């Protein structure tokens, strides 16, 4: 979309055009370390910016409520077939607008209001839509939340089993947003089977690692798999729900007409393109490099004395507890951003601080891996993170500016995918 730039937006609406260009420059100039973000390809950008946005198509391929579906049906069928083939599932629904709507469809398919579900607590690494109290999922259902052990920072599946036996959930979610370790899908499946619950694996963060062979797959263990399409999977902002044949119809009905109207066809096309890209051998290499980079970064931060929740990482994500450094997560994240290193502040398990100014920061390697950085750059990035955090504790803006200049020097050799500056 931005390559070449956006002449028609610039002509019609220069204000928005300049904001788009400014955001593109920002993405170019930062070492982007937010684990749920990435850079999509120009092909994905083109599909998402296409005339498919003009078309309504409530329903599913071959069963629509509007005429004119000759090509939209083919787009959606391709996206579905590619998802089914790539993940090795019986059925895929590619219409959910994003991760939370996908998870809401699961509630609608399998639970009545007030019934019991289980999910990982948000401050322990879970997600709002896994039954956290401020979300509709925590208000409208009886939510039982599990967490990690205080001594290891890891899930204790015996505790999860005990809780499930006691509370009898109808649905159990596994997965989340700040889990640095491999998710044990077989163990969750055993627990769900024992208590008669539907197991839902929310693999939004790790979907790209799963298809790239860098994280075990939940297929064959989870009854239902939800995922966004824009994180490690490197597609547009959207989501999918994948199921065994048994649950296909319940999930399809929950998405449409249960929760949504017309699917966003431009997004569906971009998801199809992203799935095609994810089926290429180069995507496997990317997925393994994401993990190798995260491990190298985790090691370099550990060497510098940082406390990593769970002691390290198995995937794309690192959760740092900054308590020993004497700085809150929010101040650290803001200083790092000024230094050209974009992370997000994040609660850590058993956080004594408030979510809007927690003790941790969350770091991930998908976007920098897409940009072409590898293990040899992680030592340098860990050093800059350390320098910027120490500088922040001393209000030393000079050091922060110097780190930002070093970041710019490094990134000059790694063009941003999807955008080329106009000048
Ligand atoms: N907001 C996403 C993340 O950053 O992990 C989860 O929905």
Q: Answer whether 421's CB lies under 8 Å from 25's CB.
A: yes
**Secondary structure of residue 422 in the 3-state scheme:** coil
Q: Is the CB of 99 under 6 A from ligand 1?
A: yes
**Residues 6+ positions from 173 with CB-CB distance below 8 Å:** 103, 117, 118, 119, 120, 126, 127, 130, 131, 200, 201, 202
CA angle 174, 181, 83 (to 5 degrees): 55
Closest ligand 1 atom to Cα of 344? 4
| Residue spans of the chain under pLDDT 70 | 1-4, 421-423
Centroid of ligand 1 to alpha carbon of 126 (angstroms): 10
Centroid of ligand 1 to alpha carbon of 368 (angstroms): 17
Residues noted as catalytic:
56, 58, 202, 228, 231, 237
Alpha carbons within 13 angstroms on the beta-carbon side of residue 263 total 34
**Chain position carrying tokens 């966004």:** 228
Nearest to 58 by CA among 226, 259, 246: 259
Centroid of ligand 1 to alpha carbon of 416 (angstroms): 22
Model pTM score: 0.97
Distances (CA, A) of 246 to 89, 91, 109, 201, 220: 12, 9, 12, 16, 13
Query: For 307-328, what is each residue's pLDDT tens digit?
Result: 999 999 999 999 999 999 999 9
**Residues 6+ positions from 190 with CB-CB distance below 8 Å:** none
CA–CA distance, 4 with 421 (Å, rounded to integer): 9
Q: Is the CB of 36 under 6 A from ligand 1?
A: yes
- The secondary structure of residue 416, as a DSSP letter, is P
Q: Answer whether 109's CB lies under 8 Å from 251's CB.
A: yes
The residue contributing the CA closest to ligand 1 atom 1 is 36
CA–CA distance, 67 with 34 (Å, rounded to integer): 42
The residue contributing the CA closest to ligand 1 atom 3 is 36
In this prediction, residue 314 carries a pLDDT of: 98
In this prediction, residue 1 carries a pLDDT of: 43
CA–CA distance, 416 with 371 (Å, rounded to integer): 6
Tokens describing residue 17 = 């055009």
- The secondary structure of residue 62, as a DSSP letter, is T
Nearest to 384 by CA among 329, 339, 343, 421: 339
What are the chain's domains? 47-278 (3.40.640.10), 290-411 (3.90.1150.10)
Centroid of ligand 1 to alpha carbon of 367 (angstroms): 14
What is the chain's length? 423
Q: Best of 33, 36, 137, 361 to mutate for ligand 1, by most ligand atoms within 8 A of CB?
A: 36
Q: Is the CB of 325 under 6 A from ligand 1?
A: no
Cα 342 to chain centroid distance, Å, stands at 16
Alpha carbons within 13 angstroms on the beta-carbon side of residue 110 total 27
Q: For 337-363, what is the HEC assignment?
A: HHCCEECEEECCCCCCCCCCCCCEEEE
Centroid of ligand 1 to alpha carbon of 141 (angstroms): 22
Centroid of ligand 1 to alpha carbon of 135 (angstroms): 14
Q: Best of 123, 180, 231, 238 to mutate for ligand 1, by most ligand atoms within 8 A of CB?
A: 231
Q: Best of 97, 122, 205 to mutate for ligand 1, by most ligand atoms within 8 A of CB?
A: 205
């Amino acid at each position: 979309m931005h390559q070449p730039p956006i002449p028609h937006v610039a002509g019609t609406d220069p204000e928005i055009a300049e904001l788009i260009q400014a955001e593109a420059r920002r993405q170019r100039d930062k070492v982007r370390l937010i684990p749920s973000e990435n850079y999509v390809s120009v092909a994905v950008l083109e599909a998402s910016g296409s005339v498919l946005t003009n078309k309504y198509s409530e329903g599913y391929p071959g069963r629509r409520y509007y005429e004119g579906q000759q090509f939209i049906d083919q787009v959606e069928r391709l996206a579905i077939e590619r998802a089914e083939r790539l993940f090795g599932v019986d059925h895929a629904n590619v219409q959910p607008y994003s991760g939370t709507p996908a998870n809401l469809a699961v509630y609608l398919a399998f639970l009545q209001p007030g019934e019991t579900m289980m999910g990982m607590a948000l401050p322990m690494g879970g997600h709002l839509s896994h039954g956290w109290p401020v979300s509709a999922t925590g208000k409208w259902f009886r939510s039982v939340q599990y967490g990690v052990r205080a001594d290891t920072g890891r899930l204790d599946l015996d505790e999860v089993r005990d809780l499930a036996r006691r509370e009898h959930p109808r649905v159990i979610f596994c997965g989340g947003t700040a889990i640095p370790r491999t998710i044990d899908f077989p163990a969750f499946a055993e627990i769900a089977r024992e208590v008669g619950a539907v197991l839902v694996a929310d693999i939004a963060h790790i979907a790209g690692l799963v298809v790239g062979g860098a994280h075990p797959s939940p297929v064959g263990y989870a009854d239902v798999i939800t995922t966004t399409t824009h994180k490690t999977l490197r597609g547009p902002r959207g989501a999918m729900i994948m199921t065994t044949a048994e649950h296909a119809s319940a999930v399809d009905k929950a998405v449409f007409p249960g929760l949504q109207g017309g699917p966003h066809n431009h997004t569906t096309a971009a998801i199809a393109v992203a799935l095609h890209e994810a089926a290429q051998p180069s995507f496997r290499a990317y997925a393994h490099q994401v993990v190798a980079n995260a491990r190298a970064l985790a090691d370099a931060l550990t060497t510098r004395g940082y406390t990593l929740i769970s002691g390290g990482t198995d995937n794309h994500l690192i959760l740092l507890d900054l308590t020993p450094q004497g700085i809150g997560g929010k101040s650290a994240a803001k200083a790092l951003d000024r230094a050209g290193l974009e992370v997000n502040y994040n609660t850590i398990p058993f956080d004594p601080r408030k979510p809007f100014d927690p003790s941790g920061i969350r770091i991930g390697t998908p976007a920098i891996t897409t940009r072409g950085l590898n293990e040899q750059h992680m030592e340098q990035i860990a050093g800059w993170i350390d320098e910027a955090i120490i500088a922040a504790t001393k209000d030393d803006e000079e050091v922060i500016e110097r780190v930002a200049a070093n970041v710019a020097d490094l990134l000059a050799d790694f063009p941003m995918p999807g955008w080329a500056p106009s000048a």
